[in-house]
Structure 1
Amino acid sequence: MDEITKKEIIELLKQSSKPLNFNQILYLSGIEKKVLRKTLRTLIIEGKIIKFKNGKYAPCEVLDLVIGTVDGHPDGYAFLIPEDKELEDVFIPPKKLNGAVHGDKVTARIVEFRGKKEAHVIKVIERGFKRVVGRIEKSKYFAYVIPYEKKFFYDIYIPNKYAKKLKDDDVVICEIIKYPEKGKNPEGKIKKVLGNLYDKGIENKIVLAKYDLRINFPKSVKKEVKETADFYFKNAGERTDFTRLFTVTIDGEDARDFDDAISIEKTNGGYILYVHIADVAHYVRPGTNIDKEAYNRATSVYFPEFAIPMLPEKLSNEQCSLMPNVERLAMTVKIEYDKVGNRKKTSFYQSIIKSDYRLTYNYVNDLIDGKEETDDENLKYLVDVSKELTDKLIKKRKRIGMIDFDLPEATFIFDDDGNLIDIVPFERKFSHRIIENFMIEANEAVAEYLEEHIDISVFRVHDYPDAKKVKEFNKMCQFFGIDVLMPDEITPEMIQKIAEKVKESKYGYVLGSMLVRTMQKALYSIDNIGHFGLASESYTHFTSPIRRYPDLLVHRILKTLLFRYDYKINKEYLGKAADHCSNMEQNAESAEREIHQYKKLKFLLENRDKVYDAFINRISSNGFFIFIEKLLLTGFVHISSLDNDYYVVDIETNTIFGKASGKKYRVGDFVKVKVDKVNFDYLEADFILVE
């Protein structure tokens, strides 16, 4: 579609003294009828113009309308998140939503009411939800779907003709056929019944459907992989042979997609590090079915029991995976360091490698700690020199201000029948730090090279945190008895010092998580603003092309520059791809966070008599929130469950105290709790105290 045509229509509407209908625009513009109709639709979706109920069109700019997305709240109100990032979020009262729901793109007018700004929705431009996943509540003549999206604050009415075969607590995918209007709930019909709420593994189906994650690949993609994978391996092109380098992969116990391997040497002048990355770009060519599917997925997603890969297994776990004792195609970054770990020279190669060992983090860490021994002198050498260089890199990065939050994640332990039997915090070992630091070095080296040699690339960027949020965090630390001074200037070094102080406290995880929430989200962008968290002026993602599409794009750009790879570097495409990959990454993170929460809540129900150590991390008007460190789980204790006294809440001092006993509950206090009830609709758990 011609951008000139769009501009012409907008200018025509601006110059008109009143809104125009289709025939008037057709006559005045002279644009062909089909083109005009399509262009008007596009401009409405883009939020540039609005179509009134009488069929007339007007530019949003002239009407002083703001375009944004509705961010709903379970209580029925919402906020407008403007597309213009210079504008602040604005409150939308329930009666001013005008049929809009969470996720909708809307035009709205900003007004003042009692001295405060609020947004009134004028028109829905594009619906955010066309279907929802939820559970059934059945009555005699109809049913409702209770959405598993608490910000979607309506239950969806299912007429009897669609509801006859449904049962209470059926989990369904529901298509919305009518949106809310004039006080009526939205209406829907059932597209698929996923099972019952209490079926084993139903939580996996819920999250897969809710976040539109597909495990299986289209037949056309599988066929293409089968036809091309072996051909591309046999036709590898010009390669540097690194098969004689002693090389290893270091990954988790259950990993199967090995996309990085390392080799290392100690020299008279310092060190030479080789970071070998699977050459996915050689197998996944631009414009192919495999490439289109990888782009759509943009990232692999990891559930406790399985993964949803970005690439088919034939590539991700076989042809591209850097398995031991077989030749594999790679992109190698050779980095030469001085004796204190400063990069002196970087070289890039299209290579062929052969990994000598598939190592695990646990085994390498045991070698470092002396709990394991090996007779292989090459392996001893690699581990010793890797540790030595990593120590220097950590010191260097700490000196420049890299922030290391080091927050544990939950590890889910299943028996042979797939039953969840325990949840424990994941322990980050020094072996993890070796690979993390080596990958950061390679990513940064590639970013710096691309920025120096080409006008356009894809960067991993991380903006400065919001000073207001940092100030609120510092205030919260005081309630936990931790004195953190507000810095005059927010720098990576200052945040690093705050993170270290928080980590040393007994509330390290909760406060560390709160500190993370003061940070901006890291994103992909063609505009390099640096990476605040890593204290890096230029950073990208290069080291995981099996599971991240931006890495594949960066490989293509690098190969085009250095190795005559057939790829047209297009700024507009790369910008859209960066935005898409950022959105898909956030979608994946939300899915992973949600499936973890489901597993934890089901584990609580199956162990409802178990008592947990917890501490109070926030006081509210009707109780307090607790954090269970073993499960890395937040829950709530309602004030009504404290039945041995009349308790009063003092929000100012973050305290709940008993009138008669004087018993106090404060932020930071340790308590013992057990589960009272679980709400799967909101993914929340209520607890009671155990004296």
Structure 2
Amino acid sequence: MSDVPPLPTKDEILALMARNAAEAKDLGRKPAVLGKREIARAFGVKGADRSELKRMLRELEREGTVTKRRKHLRPSGAMPPVIVAEITSRDRDGELVAVPNDWDTAELGAAPRILIEVPRKPKPGAPVPGVGNRVLIRIAPAPDPDDTHAIGRVVKILTKSRARMLGVFHDRGDVGPRVSPVDKKAAAQEWGVAPEGDGGAQDGDLVAVEPIGRGTGYGLQLVRVVERLGTLNTEKAISRIAIETHDIPAIFRPDTLAEAEAVVAPGLAGREDWRALPLVTIDPPDAKDHDDAVHAVPDTAEDNPGGFVVSVAIADVASLVRPGTALDREALVRGNSVYFPDGVVPMLPERISTDLGSLRADVDRPALAVRLVLGADGRKRRHSFHRILMRSHAKLAYAQAQAAIDGQPDATTAPLLEPVLRPLWAAYRATTQAKAERGPLDLDLPERKILLTPEGTVDRVIVPQRLDAHRLIEEFMILANVAAAEALEAKGQPLIYRVHDEPTLEKLRALSEFLATIGIKLAKGQTLRPAQFNGILARVKDTEHEHLVNEVVLRSQAQAEYAADNYGHFGLNLRRYAHFTSPIRRYADLVVHRALIRALDLGSDGLADMTAGQLAEVATRISAAERRAMAAERETVDRLIATFLADRVGAIFSGRISGVTKSGLFVKLDETGADGFIPASTLGDEYFRFEEARRAMVGTRTATVFRLGDTVEVKLVEAAPFAGALRFAVVGGKTRRGPRGTGQDRPGKTTAPPKSTGERKSRRRA
């Protein structure tokens, strides 16, 4: 009789996962990592049977029964232990019901219902949630395994339901003033304005209103104007819509401001004196906050011929914002700074963000620095962290530094060219070799920038040129972030990682089906790494498919996030990665700074004692704040451009199909990057069939094809500035493609959503 145990059944594997989660709950800890190796060990699977077990696990993934997050397998639809959710309703028993805020229905199925558990005897000061609240919830499995819902207890109320609403004031003449809600999800088409409640608003004004009861006659909700926010044609009013609708804290609390004014920057005591080192900042020309400064010299060590010593100094915000203070509490609520075309909603008050915490030129500033020793091949050999006092020797703009390297120095850069800039560029050129060997995902989807007039309206939309100066800073910041994660892991110090999961099997299958339609075949079951994606992109470079494939590859990727567990960064192809370089504008970086201070014994203001669960809560909150900021920034751009184009209804534009659905086509205009929609019913005088694998709409009579990535001439039919929506109609009914290899299509490349696959040192988060 064989001593080899039989292979487990699928039900037994799922039962193991359930026990793993239940035991973790009983012990008050996170579930243990449960991957192929752990499952094989649990069931005693050895030798050739491991291949069969691997096949079974892949089948469970394909069936959608389990999902994989790097090496951790768990039942599909299972929620992490802490999530951000919105309380949407009450059930028949009066219990509060919530749904996760950012649930990927395409990947995970319908969003689960979460019943909010309210303690019978709540502790004094415990949060009291209600419908409309956005809350941080700790999840527990439902008592009955057959239940389709989970149980959650509110840890913190992030935003409360508010009576204040935004709308556009209209003078309706005989029927009186009305307000149209800006939020198109609002049930009402219009609100009535109570007598003497117009607040002096004029027709077309953006206003904030509060409900005061229901009216009679038409049954309209009556409101009172509590604030006039200006006309909708200005960026300030449009960004205000995003701020209000996404509950972004835009006004600092008085105690936070008072605390910021009282902060005194530390001096040299307990720090290394780096003020003589010619560190420089390189940023956008309009930057007010300067997180980082850089310096490089050839390494003179005999054991590192051709190598470099690169110094990256980061503003020491941890010395200015102490844990548990009003500044710290509000920074956590905000999570990050939010950037709009005309300004910023900062994470920290200006006293910190643009003054004491900003590495201004010729001013002493505290910093946390990392010294990176690079080999001639650009690989990092070692690193060390230092708490320093520094003085930036120059404030440079990207184009200014690049011009100096390209032979056109100005009065500021000429003295810095040989001693500072050329060594920086030499070190950067070395890193390009190491980067090429690492093979991060290399999508070609440049960002657009809106330029405003002095009045705050859109002047034009440009695609800023990507320079080596940008890439230099990005690569040095990535190296510093990797060093931070490695240093903390070496000390066993818990931290918040920046993580990016690999694409799911479902998304890879859809990508494979699409690539097959343009003659690119992937091996069945092939595991794609960034290098394989880059090979696909290289095959379509300068062809008619280039834009299309870049877009589809982007959509196959997961979204980056913050986590207390490390599952690596797929897009950057890095095993460990933490955000360290922007503590002025990202709370995650501030946590990493504090962790380094504690782990390396660099001061008394390090990270306080925190359990893994508490770090996971912080990571969940700041990930949600990041997604909130991304949505607000994107919607502001959409509304601003829709307003800009509102007086051009009837005009003809060239664009590119950026999305194909059963209901119609999404088009992105070449000129402005504006997104609009073409209903399927308006494509022509025939029925168009949606072919998902081809990402196309195909005419059943003429076989006319509208496919993702195709160029098309469209007419603007309607502009809805409130919603940031545009509706187009196809001109001529046929698509056209740019000639192969001419680069004709390059100005019309689609604008990517804020990137999650790369880590750029820009105003976007990745």
Q: Is TM more than 0.5 here?
A: yes
**Counterparts of 1:473 and 1:615, CA distance in 2:** 20
Superposed displacement of residue 690, structure 1:
4.5
Letter in structure 2 aligned against 1:255: A
Superposed displacement of residue 293, structure 1:
1.9
Structure-2 change in CA distance of 1:236 and 1:434 (3 Å): same
**Counterparts of 1:357 and 1:424, CA distance in 2:** 28
Residue 263 of structure 2 is matched in structure 1 by 228
Structure-2 change in CA distance of 1:607 and 1:427 (3 Å): farther
Structure-2 change in CA distance of 1:544 and 1:69 (3 Å): closer
> Does the CA contact (< 8 Å) of 1:248 and 1:359 recur in 2?
yes
Residue 188 of structure 2 is matched in structure 1 by 155
Letter in structure 2 aligned against 1:241: D
2:589 matches 1:548: no
Structure-2 change in CA distance of 1:168 and 1:417 (3 Å): closer
**Counterparts of 2:652 and 2:233, CA distance in 1:** 26
**Counterparts of 1:141 and 1:123, CA distance in 2:** 47
Superposed displacement of residue 277, structure 1:
0.4
Q: Secondary structure at the residue paired with 1:80?
A: coil
> Does the CA contact (< 8 Å) of 2:114 and 2:149 recur in 1?
no
Residue 351 of structure 1 is matched in structure 2 by 388
Q: Secondary structure at the residue paired with 1:647?
A: coil
Residue 522 of structure 2 is matched in structure 1 by 485
> Does the CA contact (< 8 Å) of 2:717 and 2:729 recur in 1?
yes
User: Residues 118-133 of structure 1: matches in 2 within 5 Å?
Assistant: 130=162, 132-133=165-166
Superposed displacement of residue 120, structure 1:
9.9
Letter in structure 2 aligned against 1:260: D
Residue 570 of structure 1 is matched in structure 2 by 610
**Counterparts of 1:638 and 1:294, CA distance in 2:** 43
2:654 matches 1:616: no
**Counterparts of 2:519 and 2:178, CA distance in 1:** 48
Structure-2 change in CA distance of 1:244 and 1:103 (3 Å): closer
Q: Secondary structure at the residue paired with 2:719?
A: strand
**Counterparts of 1:564 and 1:275, CA distance in 2:** 19
My pick for the range that moved more, 598-607 or 499-508, is: 499-508
Kindly tell me the number of residue pairs found equivalent between the two proteins.
603
Letter in structure 1 aligned against 2:603: R
Residue 320 of structure 1 is matched in structure 2 by 357
**Counterparts of 2:678 and 2:604, CA distance in 1:** 60
Residue 258 of structure 1 is matched in structure 2 by 290
User: Residues 332-347 of structure 1: matches in 2 within 5 Å?
Assistant: 332-347=369-384
Superposed displacement of residue 637, structure 1:
3.1
Superposed displacement of residue 226, structure 1:
2.0
Q: Secondary structure at the residue paired with 2:576?
A: coil
User: Residues 156-175 of structure 1: matches in 2 within 5 Å?
Assistant: 158=191, 165=198, 171-173=206-208
Point out which structure has higher relative CO (alpha carbons under 8 A, 6+ apart). Answer: 2
431, 437, 448: which one aligns with 2:486: 448
Superposed displacement of residue 531, structure 1:
1.3
**Counterparts of 1:458 and 1:371, CA distance in 2:** 42
Letter in structure 2 aligned against 1:251: D
**Counterparts of 2:275 and 2:714, CA distance in 1:** 57
User: Residues 519-598 of structure 1: matches in 2 within 5 Å?
Assistant: 519-561=557-599, 562-567=601-606, 568-571=608-611, 572-598=613-639
Structure-2 change in CA distance of 1:520 and 1:175 (3 Å): farther
Superposed displacement of residue 249, structure 1:
0.6
> Does the CA contact (< 8 Å) of 1:278 and 1:329 recur in 2?
yes
Residue 246 of structure 2 is matched in structure 1 by 211
Structure-2 change in CA distance of 1:198 and 1:543 (3 Å): closer
Structure-2 change in CA distance of 1:608 and 1:102 (3 Å): farther
Residue 747 of structure 2 is matched in structure 1 by none
Superposed displacement of residue 274, structure 1:
0.2
**Counterparts of 1:121 and 1:138, CA distance in 2:** 48
Superposed displacement of residue 365, structure 1:
2.1
> Does the CA contact (< 8 Å) of 2:233 and 2:457 recur in 1?
no
User: Residues 67-466 of structure 1: matches in 2 within 5 Å?
Assistant: 68-69=99-100, 79-81=110-112, 130=162, 132-135=165-168, 148-150=182-184, 152=185, 154-155=187-188, 158=191, 165=198, 171-173=206-208, 192-195=226-229, 198-201=232-235, 202-229=237-264, 232-233=265-266, 235-268=267-300, 269=304, 270-372=307-409, 376=414, 378-466=416-504
Q: Secondary structure at the residue paired with 1:519?
A: coil
Structure-2 change in CA distance of 1:570 and 1:54 (3 Å): closer
Structure-2 change in CA distance of 1:634 and 1:535 (3 Å): same
Superposed displacement of residue 499, structure 1:
4.3
Q: Matched residues, percent identical?
A: 27
**Counterparts of 2:723 and 2:586, CA distance in 1:** 30
Structure-2 change in CA distance of 1:296 and 1:46 (3 Å): closer
- TM-score normalized by the length of structure 1: 0.75
Letter in structure 2 aligned against 1:531: H
Superposed displacement of residue 46, structure 1:
10
My pick for the range that moved more, 555-564 or 325-334, is: 555-564
Letter in structure 1 aligned against 2:238: E
Structure-2 change in CA distance of 1:214 and 1:482 (3 Å): farther
My pick for the range that moved more, 120-129 or 216-225, is: 120-129
**Counterparts of 1:354 and 1:426, CA distance in 2:** 30
Letter in structure 2 aligned against 1:359: L
User: Residues 44-83 of structure 1: matches in 2 within 5 Å?
Assistant: 68-69=99-100, 79-81=110-112
Superposed displacement of residue 682, structure 1:
3.8
Superposed displacement of residue 423, structure 1:
0.6
Unaligned runs of 5+ in 1: 1-5, 8-44, 61-65, 85-98, 111-116, 180-184
Q: Secondary structure at the residue paired with 1:569?
A: coil
> Does the CA contact (< 8 Å) of 2:114 and 2:150 recur in 1?
no
> Does the CA contact (< 8 Å) of 1:133 and 1:171 recur in 2?
yes
- TM-score normalized by the length of structure 2: 0.69
Structure-2 change in CA distance of 1:221 and 1:54 (3 Å): closer
Structure-2 change in CA distance of 1:167 and 1:419 (3 Å): closer
Residue 727 of structure 2 is matched in structure 1 by 686
Residue 473 of structure 1 is matched in structure 2 by 511
**Counterparts of 1:51 and 1:636, CA distance in 2:** 36
Residue 51 of structure 2 is matched in structure 1 by none
Q: CA RMSD in A?
A: 4.4
Structure-2 change in CA distance of 1:436 and 1:46 (3 Å): closer
My pick for the range that moved more, 413-422 or 430-439, is: 413-422
Superposed displacement of residue 123, structure 1:
13
Residue 182 of structure 1 is matched in structure 2 by none
User: Residues 25-36 of structure 1: matches in 2 within 5 Å?
Assistant: none
**Counterparts of 2:152 and 2:320, CA distance in 1:** 46
Letter in structure 2 aligned against 1:633: A
**Counterparts of 1:350 and 1:626, CA distance in 2:** 50
Residue 120 of structure 2 is matched in structure 1 by none
Q: Secondary structure at the residue paired with 1:380?
A: helix
Q: Secondary structure at the residue paired with 1:538?
A: coil
> Does the CA contact (< 8 Å) of 1:80 and 1:119 recur in 2?
no
Report Cα offsets for 1:102-132 as digits up to 9, x if no partner: 989999x99xxxxxx9989999999985455
Residue 122 of structure 2 is matched in structure 1 by none
Report Cα offsets for 1:440-459 as digits up to 9, x if no partner: 00010010010110241111
Letter in structure 2 aligned against 1:598: R
Report Cα offsets for 1:465-520 as digits up to 9, x if no partner: 112113223434556x4636366013232233334445654565564344333222
Structure-2 change in CA distance of 1:242 and 1:573 (3 Å): same
Q: Secondary structure at the residue paired with 1:422?
A: strand
Letter in structure 2 aligned against 1:626: V
Letter in structure 2 aligned against 1:155: A
> Does the CA contact (< 8 Å) of 2:211 and 2:223 recur in 1?
yes
> Does the CA contact (< 8 Å) of 1:141 and 1:160 recur in 2?
no
Letter in structure 1 aligned against 2:234: K
**Counterparts of 1:312 and 1:51, CA distance in 2:** 39
**Counterparts of 1:67 and 1:420, CA distance in 2:** 39
Report Cα offsets for 1:214-267 as digits up to 9, x if no partner: 4442332222222223xx33x443111111212111000110101100010112
684, 689, 701: which one aligns with 1:650: 689
**Counterparts of 1:414 and 1:531, CA distance in 2:** 36
Q: Secondary structure at the residue paired with 2:323?
A: coil
> Does the CA contact (< 8 Å) of 1:72 and 1:153 recur in 2?
no
Residue 676 of structure 1 is matched in structure 2 by 717
